[in-house]
Structure 1
Amino acid sequence: MTSRSRKALGGVGLLVALVTVPMVVLWPEFSALLQFLQAGTPPATPFAETRPPPAPDYGSPESWAALPDRPDDADVAPGQERDGQASAPVDVFFVHPTTSFSNKVWNAPLDDARAKDITDHDVLRNQASAFNACCRVYAPRYRQASLGSQEATPEEADKALALAYRDVRAAFEHYLRHQNHGRPFLLAAHSQGTLHALRLLEELITGKPLRRKLVAAYLVGMPIPTDVFTRTLPDLPLCASPEQTGCVISWNAIGPTADTRLFHVHLHRYPDGKKESIVGKALVCTNPITWRADETPGAREEHLGGVRFAMAAGAPPRLDRALVEARCREDGWLVITRPGPQAYRELLLGPDLYHVYDYSLFYMDVRENARARVTAFRQDEAPHQPLP
């Protein structure tokens, strides 16, 4: 596998580097992923010469990975926790990360069986379900940019990402028209999903009346330059305290020896069309133990707990309390101590890169923090506009 192919994967945010992998792995599709990484090639046919998969119909439940009024894997809860969607006063619109490892297509069709399996039984369980205590969970399927598309030139890869974003925007607009009914909402995402969610903030929320309904945005697993807030999100600050609302939260978990140059291929796209490297830029970092955007360390004893759901159904997993310490480094990376349980070390994406565990490592911290921000939002809104 070439140096270029390792780096190019960072455009979507899965940032895969081959390391020694234990026999127990995160996904049953690992063998397919390994084969792709060894090949390290983009789709053979140029993007312009391919026919994209059929567009989603967001009026159909089949175009959604999670909906609050039907059973799905966003309903799971660990330990003594319970799914609270039936009475939740707020929604969450969740945009999933890359789950298509193909290099045969630029954008994955919605009925891609492998991608659906990972989205439904891994991502919904280990990421989106963290919000089901406070919020009704809406998670669209979309024609995601496949992992293979990121082996292409930046110009070609951007075309696949743009198609994926069109779907995410269409899903969000459908949600607002038909499912939101004026309720407050959280925006949450990971990796490729964070790229799309950030564009939603820039194009549909900042400076618009909808901004007043945003409780918070959890944009995790993708380096975001801090100048985004002055250049494109002037009314959406970085969250600086655990109960602040109308603000943005982001982190990228690494260990102390991680080589973050794998992320340097990522060019941040600004709404004016200008693209700039993140190299040398200050990056956003929220500590998900302290919920502060500074270098104050989060102590192990303050860590509420990580959770790793298995892909197969089974007993709810235990909480791994006091799992790690965490500190936002000066350069904007969240540096954590090594988690002990094997469940968080089954498939590293490079030495000390904990990308796939960004949510799982802090699952209970996210769950409690989302509840706290929803409570604070409702208390602030109550005198002005009663909520359902």
Structure 2
Amino acid sequence: MRVWNNVWIVGLLCCLWACSTGANDGYILPEEPDYSEDVAWYKDLSEANAVADIFYIAPTCIWNWSDEEGRIVYFEDIYNESQRQALLPSLKLAQNIFGVGNNFYAPYYRQISLDSWMEGEQAVAERFPYAMADVKNAFDYYMKHYNQGRPFVLAGFSQGAKAVVELLKELTAEEYERLVAAYVVGYRVTKEELANYPTIVEACGADDTGVTICYNSVATPDAICPVLSPSALCINPVNWSRDEIPAVLNDTVTVTLDNTWKVLRVEGLDEEKYYNPSLGSLFKLGNYHLLELTLYKQSLADNVKLRIDSFRKKH
């Protein structure tokens, strides 16, 4: 009996240690966000006549870091000011695209690091659920305390887009009724997800609602990032078409949907200029992942407004 008592005591001590240090499955987790606190959000509610909300999920903006004991942490500490600052440029860009005329809500969450993505899909699969748990908690809090029955847009870029796909899978029927559209920018929607989740509906044009918009941009298929592909969905954000007619973005750049690979083929950019060697293991020369918002900024901003107007007319 004494042996079993000792085993039980050791197990209890290990459990208490894990809880006290924030360790889960061998990972060190920063403090869990409290979404009742303003510090857990990036918000812009300055639009007095806003009729719709944007729920935006930020992309990956942090690297691995070490805590005070020198242990590697793979997750953002949302209460760390320098890490919060790392997210600000992306959040402000998204606010300027999606938030004009709308309420803008973006939760800080314990996103996984860039190093995690470069380690490969197994590391992402193991670590992302912790980040996603925060996003789900934030969305539930938003729905209960902030939304107040308004139509809303889900939007995310890169890791944030992955989170949007997961949120779509769990939308209730009542929530889906108020979904204007979901922007899955720089990530993928698989054939299985499209087939099995009725809340994931392919966008067919510029003003359909309750739909999911998805795309990835490359110079050639050789530059496709395997972590982000293959996708069952792709629409051209320049002409909002699913055909393969080239769309003119500006005087020098055209964007063409490649339906074989379900990517956008961008011609007219300097591949070297937009190549980041530090992320080369993820994004090869000719991969324009880092431009997915800035390249189509005006097209996206106009489209959000159009879809919200279309939603209001229907409802």
Aligned-partner Cα distance in 2 for 1:247–1:328: 18
Are the equivalent residues in 1 in contact too, given 2:34–2:40 (CA < 8 A)?
yes
Residue in structure 2 matching 1:296, options 220, 245, 249: 245
The corresponding residue for 2:254 is: 325
Q: Which amino acid in the other structure matches residue 106 of structure 1?
A: Y
Superimposed CA distance per residue, residues 70-125 of structure 1 (whole angstroms, 9 cap, x where no aligned partner): 7xxxxxxxxxxxxxx332210010000101112531212113444322311x2023
State whether structure 2 residue 265 is matched by structure 1 residue 335: yes
* Equivalences, count: 281
In the TM superposition, what is the alpha-carbon distance from 1:290 to its structure 2 partner? 1.1
SS at match of 1:219: strand
Q: Which amino acid in the other structure matches residue 50 of structure 2?
A: A
SS at match of 1:244: coil
Residue in structure 2 matching 1:110, options 78, 88, 92: 78
Residue in structure 1 matching 2:29, options 28, 32, 52: 52
SS at match of 2:25: helix
Instruction: Describe how 1:324-363 pairs up with structure 2 within 5 A.
Output: 324-330=253-259, 331-339=261-269, 345=274, 347=276, 349-363=283-297
State whether structure 2 residue 202 is matched by structure 1 residue 225: no
In the TM superposition, what is the alpha-carbon distance from 1:49 to its structure 2 partner? 2.8
The corresponding residue for 1:96 is: 58
Residue in structure 1 matching 2:164, options 183, 186, 197: 197
When residues 257 and 129 of structure 1 are mapped into structure 2, their CA distance, relative to the original with a 3 A threshold, is same
SS at match of 2:207: coil
When residues 257 and 247 of structure 1 are mapped into structure 2, their CA distance, relative to the original with a 3 A threshold, is closer
The corresponding residue for 1:238 is: 202
TM-score normalised by structure 1 residue count: 0.67
The corresponding residue for 2:12 is: none
Instruction: Describe how 1:102-141 pairs up with structure 2 within 5 A.
Output: 102=64, 104-120=72-88, 122-141=89-108
Are the equivalent residues in 2 in contact too, given 1:134–1:374 (CA < 8 A)?
no
TM-score normalised by structure 2 residue count: 0.81
Are the equivalent residues in 2 in contact too, given 1:221–1:250 (CA < 8 A)?
yes
Are the equivalent residues in 2 in contact too, given 1:47–1:106 (CA < 8 A)?
no
State whether structure 2 residue 310 is matched by structure 1 residue 376: yes
Aligned-partner Cα distance in 2 for 1:322–1:210: 41
The corresponding residue for 2:38 is: 61
Q: Which amino acid in the other structure matches residue 326 of structure 1?
A: V
When residues 373 and 323 of structure 1 are mapped into structure 2, their CA distance, relative to the original with a 3 A threshold, is farther
Are the equivalent residues in 1 in contact too, given 2:255–2:264 (CA < 8 A)?
yes
Aligned-partner Cα distance in 1 for 2:187–2:304: 20
Are the equivalent residues in 2 in contact too, given 1:257–1:351 (CA < 8 A)?
no
Aligned-partner Cα distance in 1 for 2:120–2:93: 32
SS at match of 1:264: coil
SS at match of 1:133: coil
Moved more, 85-94 or 359-368: 85-94
The corresponding residue for 2:148 is: 181
Aligned-partner Cα distance in 2 for 1:198–1:156: 19
Aligned-partner Cα distance in 1 for 2:232–2:154: 20
SS at match of 1:186: strand
In the TM superposition, what is the alpha-carbon distance from 1:133 to its structure 2 partner? 2.0
Instruction: Describe how 1:257-272 pairs up with structure 2 within 5 A.
Output: 258-260=222-224, 263-265=225-227
Q: CA RMSD in A?
A: 2.5
Q: Which amino acid in the other structure matches residue 285 of structure 1?
A: C
Q: Which amino acid in the other structure matches residue 77 of structure 2?
A: P
Are the equivalent residues in 2 in contact too, given 1:47–1:159 (CA < 8 A)?
no
Are the equivalent residues in 2 in contact too, given 1:283–1:333 (CA < 8 A)?
no
Q: Percent identity?
A: 26
Q: Give the structure with the higher percent strand.
A: 2
Aligned-partner Cα distance in 1 for 2:202–2:276: 31
Residue in structure 2 matching 1:283, options 226, 229, 232: 232
Q: Which amino acid in the other structure matches residue 157 of structure 1?
A: V
Residue in structure 1 matching 2:113, options 127, 146, 149: 146
The higher-RCO structure (CA 8 Å, 6+ apart) is 1
Structure 2 stretches of 5 or more lacking a match? 1-22, 66-71, 278-282
Based on CA coordinates, which of the two structures has the bigger radius of gyration?
2
Aligned-partner Cα distance in 1 for 2:189–2:200: 14
Aligned-partner Cα distance in 2 for 1:368–1:131: 9
SS at match of 2:28: coil
